[in-house]
Amino acid sequence: MKWLKKRKLIGEIGVDFERSRFKPHCRYILAILLVIFSCSIYSTLAVAQTGGWEVMSTRTQEYASYDVPKSIPGKGTETSILTIADTGSIVDLNVKLNITHPYDADIEIFLIAPDGMRVELFTDVGEWEHDFIDTVLDDEASKSITEGRGPFTGSFRPEGNLADMDGKDIAGTWTLEVTDDASSNRSGTLNAWSLIIEQESDLLPGAKYGGGTGEPDDPYKIATAADLITLGGTPSDYDKCFILTADIDLNTNLLGSKVFDKAVIGPDVDSDESDYQGTGFSGIFDGNGHTISHLTITGEGYLGLFGQLASGSQVINMGLIDVNVIGSGSYVGGLAGENFGSITMSYSGGVVEGDIGVGGLVGSNAGSMTQCCSSSVVNGTGWWIGGLVGVNYDSIATSYSIGRVGATNSVGGLVGFSDNGTVLDCYSTSAVRGTSIGVGGLVGYNGSTNVIHCYSTGAVSGGSPGGLMGINHGDVTGCFWDTQASGQTGSAGGTGKTTTQMRRASTFQNAGWDFEDEMANGTEDIWWIDEGKDYPKLCWESTIAPPPPPPPTGEVIDLTEATFHQFVFDSDIPVLVDFWAPWCPPCLMMAPVIEEIAEEYAGKIRVGRLNTDYSPNIIRDYDIMYIPTFILFKNGQIRQMWIGVTPKDDLTDKIDALL
C-alpha cells in the first residue's frame, strides 16, 4: 500500500477542511479516519463533495509469468514476458523475483511496461553474494536494495521508481529484462517473477466476494483466487448463485505454494467414512466463459473443484485448464468428485488420478451432463476409470473426450462403468489401456445403459479389450468404432468400420444420426463432418475448446495408422517407434527395454509402439520386413534403424548422440 501516496491524495481530493463547517477538533478526527480508510484492505478513500460522498476502492492481485525458467547468459541479456488480460488502472505496483546466480553484483534488471516505459529495479547490487529468493521490489519498503546483501529475501525499494507506472492500465505484455554485465564465465537462472498489482475496483466497502447479493438476478461475483477460496470456506453460501467474472489462476506460486488436500468447494470432511461427508454445493455456478487454471489437489477421495455437486445444482460455461488432481481414494474428477446436479458447456484438461471412479471431468455422475468434454490424462489404481466420467448412473449427452486413460478394469475412453441412464451422441478419441476385463474405446463396462449414436477411434489395448466396449449388458443403437485406429476387430457392442468408412457421413446417417444440412434424421443439427478427411464432430464444439492433452512423457504410447504421422511429424523432440506384434516373442522380450528408455528419457524423446498387424499402410511406407524394428526419428526424418533384439546400450548410444 502506498502510504505516502494515499496521504498526498487525501490532501488533493477536494476536502477543504479550512472552509468546511466542521470544528477544528472534528476536522482533525475526520482526517485521521480518512487516513485509516486509505490503509484498509480495499483502500477505500472517502471524498466529501457537493451532493454526497464519492467512493474509490482498490484490490490487489498477483500475476505470475509462465515464460520461465530462463537462463541468464554470462555477459548477455535475457527477457521474460508476462501478459495480463485483465484491465484496470494501477494504484500500486510491486515486483517479485526468484533468481539463482552465483554473483548478484553481475546483474541489472529493468521492468518494461506494455507501452515501453522502463523502470530500473536494480543494477549490480549485493557485491559477491548469490541469489534472490522471493525478493519483492516495493517503493514503500523501509530498506533500499542497494543496502541489502545476498541472498536477497524480503522487501526492498528499487533503484528506479515503480510509482511512475501508477495510473497505467494493467492490460498488455510486460517484460522483465535481465542482464549479466560482467563475466561470460558466470551464468544464472530466472526461476520465477510476478507483478503484485493494486488496482482500482468498483467494489464497495463491506461487499461480499467480488460483489453481488447471491440472488439469481445479482449473483455473487468471483473474480480472484481469494474469492474462490472464501466461497469454499463458506458452506452457508453453497445454495447461492455465483458468476465468474475473470480468469483465475490457482498456480501454487501465487498462493504461497498452496496445494489443496480437499476439494476447493464442498469438500469431504471425513475421509474415514466411505460415503461423502460434507455439504454439497447446491447453488448455481456460471463460469461465464472464463477459466480456472492450475488447480492442484493432492488428497484422498471426492476431489475436484467441487467435492460434490448436490441435487439441484447447476454448473455452466466452466473451463478448467492444467488441473493436477491426485487422489488416493474414490470419486475424483477435474471439475467434481460426485455430481447429482446439472453440468453444461464445461470442460477440463490436465492430469487426474485416483483409485475408484475417476474421470477427467467428473468422478461419479448421477445427474445430467450436456455439451461437456475433457482432454485430461486419467489414471486409476483401481476400476471405473473414464476419460470424461469414471462411473455413470444417469445422463451424458453431446459430449466427448480426447485424452488418455489407463487403469486395471472397467476402463473406457469416455466412461469407465455405466449403469442405467443414457449415453447419447457422444464420442471418444482417447487412447485406452487396461490390464484386466472391461476395457473399451468408449465404455469399459456397460451394465444397463442405453448407448445411442456414439463412436470411438482411440487405440485400445490390454486386458480383454473391445473397440467400443469391453463388456456390455445394455442396449447399443447406431454406434461404431474404428477397427484400424483402435487396433481392435471385436467389441461387446457396436459395429466396427474402417477409417475410410468412419469418415463418411453416410455411415452415420444410415444409422439415424442427425447431421447438419439434412432433415431425414431430425432438425437439431447435432453432428457435422469434413467429408473424407475427419471423423464426425459435434456442432457445438467450436464454441468452447479444451486444451490438448499434455504431451506424453515417461511412457510408451500405443500408436495407430490414424495417430502415427502426427506423433512423429508434429514432435519438437526426437521420436523412437517400436514396430511390434503381440504374437512376436522377440518383440515381447524388447518391451521392457523400450519402457525403460521411455522412463529414463522422459521429456527428451517421445516413445511409441505400432502394432504391425493393424498398420499395413505404415508398414508398406517404411518397408518394415521384420519385427521388432526400431526407428529413431528427428524432425520427421529417419536418423537410425535397428532390426531384431537390440542391446539397450546400442539404442541409448544413438539417442544420446542425436540429443
**Residue located via cell numbers 505470475:** 64
Share of the chain above pLDDT 70, in %: 87
What three-state secondary structure class fits 348? strand
Residue 256 pLDDT > 60, yes or no? no
The reported pLDDT for the residue numbered 240 is 97
Nearest residue to 476 via CA among 499, 459, 458, 492: 492
Per-residue pLDDT at 184 exceeds 70: no
By DSSP bridging, strand 476-477 and strand 409-412 are unpaired
Per-residue model confidence (pLDDT) at position 157: 95
First vs last C-alpha separation in the chain: 50
Neighbouring-strand partners of residue 194: 64, 96
Taking residues 336-358, what's their average pLDDT?
A: 96
The Cα 626–Cα 524 span in angstroms is: 51
SS3 content of the chain, % helix, strand, coil (to 5): 15, 40, 45
Asked, as a colleague might, if the bond just before 267 is cis with ω within 30 of 0, I would say no
At 552 the pLDDT is 54
Residue type, 107: I
> Are the beta carbons of 658 and 632 closer than 8 angstroms?
yes
Q: What integer pLDDT is reported at residue 152 of this predicted model? A: 92
Q: Which one is predicted more confidently, 265 or 41?
A: 265
Q: Would you list the DSSP string of 459-493?
A: -EESSSEESSEEEE-S-EES-EEEHHHHS-S--SS
C-alpha–C-alpha distance, residues 5 and 561, integer Å: 65
Reported as a single tens digit per residue, the pLDDT across 564-595 is: 887 887 777 899 999 998 889 899 899 989 99
Mean pLDDT of 313-329: 95
H/E element holding 552? none
Average pLDDT in the chain: 86
Q: Does the structure show a pLDDT above 80 at 52? A: no
Domains of the chain, with CATH numbers? 3-58 (no CATH), 61-200 (2.60.120.260), 382-549 (no CATH), 556-658 (3.40.30.10)
Cβ burial, residue 25 (10 Å; 0-12/13-18/19+): exposed
Q: Are 286 and 244 in contact (CB under 8 A)?
A: yes
Question: Do strands 439-440 and 409-412 pair parallel, antiparallel, or not at all (unpaired)?
Answer: parallel
The 3-class SS string of 104-159 reads HHHEEEEEECCCCCEEEEEECCCCCCCCEEEEEECCCCCCEHHHCCCCEEEEEECC
- Alpha-carbon torsion angle 442, 344, 66, 202, nearest 10: 180
> Is residue 15 predicted with pLDDT exceeding 50?
no
- Beta bridge partners, 193, equal 97
Three cell numbers written together for 434: 487396461
Q: Residue for cell digits 470442460?
A: 347
Q: Rounded CA gap, 370 and 463, in Å?
A: 31
Q: How many CB atoms lie within 10 A of CB 647?
A: 10
pLDDT in tens, 503-559: 999 999 999 999 998 999 999 999 999 999 899 999 999 777 666 665 555 688 888
pLDDT at 499: 92
Who's near 592: CB < 8 A, 6+ residues apart? none
Q: Which helix (H) or strand (E) holds 653?
A: helix 648-658
pLDDT digits (tens, 9 = 90+) for 228-247: 988 998 999 999 999 999 99
- Positions annotated as catalytic residues are 584, 587
Peptide bond into 151 cis (omega under 30): yes
| Side-chain-side CA neighbours of residue 490 (13 Å) | 8
CB 504 within 8 A of CB 532: yes
- The pLDDT-based confidence of 250 (bands split at 50, 70, 90) is confident
Confidence of residue 459 (pLDDT cuts 50, 70, 90): confident
pLDDT, tens digit, 9 for 90 and up, residues 59-69: 787 887 777 88
